């Protein structure tokens, strides 16, 4: 097996190689000789003679914002809606009974139940993973959740 040796070109002019492709187009490879020197604790690029700016930055492609599903937050929201349904149906008397049944602290059950007061669009965003990445369950349960949906939207937007 042969090995191709790759080297940093330390001297010489900038040059290109053109490689014809099967589909008729051409791939261009540009070689720029560079030196990397240590300056204190940093490494710096030393350009070849005649090159004033060796670093070429291309604009970053616009990446789509992918949904981020916070499973803890989604589970808590589902649990809150489930408990609220049980309360409305009369299956359980109050949050203390839920806490006993679930072997949880009553305060925690109340905190999670408050998620049922979220504006529908905020709850939908959480379920779809479109909430701000910094919005967590602890932020929602520890913050004094306003009853007005518009104030909730402002709070969620301020977190993100």
The count of other CB atoms within 10 Å of the CB of residue 81 is 14
- List the alpha helices (DSSP H) in the chain: 71-89, 95-102, 106-113, 120-128, 137-142, 149-159
Same domain, 85 and 150: yes
| Residue tagged 């998620």 (tokens) | 115
**pLDDT at residue 2 in the model:** 41
**Residue 124 in domain:** yes
Same domain, 90 and 140: yes
How many CA atoms lie within 13 Å of 18's alpha carbon, on the beta-carbon side? 4
**Structural domain containing residue 103:** 71-159
Mean pLDDT of successive 10-residue stretches along the chain, which has 160 residues: 50 73 82 75 74 61 70 94 95 95 94 94 92 89 89 87
Number of domains in the chain: 2
Same domain, 75 and 50: no
Looking only at the bridges linking them, the beta strands covering 35-39 and 42-46 are antiparallel
pTM: 0.58
**pLDDT at residue 14 in the model:** 66
**pLDDT at residue 88 in the model:** 95
**Residue 65 in domain:** no
Longest Cα–Cα distance in the chain:
84
Torsion sign across C-alpha atoms 87, 91, 96, 100: negative
């Amino acid at each position: 097996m042969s090995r191709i040796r790759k080297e940093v070109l330390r001297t010489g002019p900038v040059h290109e190689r053109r490689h014809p492709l099967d589909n008729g187009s051409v791939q261009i490879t540009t070689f720029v000789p560079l030196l990397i020197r240590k300056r204190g604790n940093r490494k710096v690029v030393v350009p070849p003679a005649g090159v004033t700016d060796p670093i070429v930055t291309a604009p970053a492609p616009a990446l789509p914002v992918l949904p981020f599903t916070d499973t803890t937050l989604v589970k808590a929201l589902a649990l809150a809606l489930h408990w609220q349904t049980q309360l409305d149906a009369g299956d359980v008397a109050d949050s203390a009974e839920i806490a006993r049944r679930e072997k949880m602290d009553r305060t925690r059950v109340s905190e999670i139940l408050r998620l049922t007061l979220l504006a529908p669009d905020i709850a939908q965003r959480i379920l779809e993973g479109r909430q701000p990445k910094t919005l967590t369950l602890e932020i929602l349960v520890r913050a004094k959740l306003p009853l007005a949906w518009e104030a909730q939207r402002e709070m969620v937007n301020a977190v993100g």
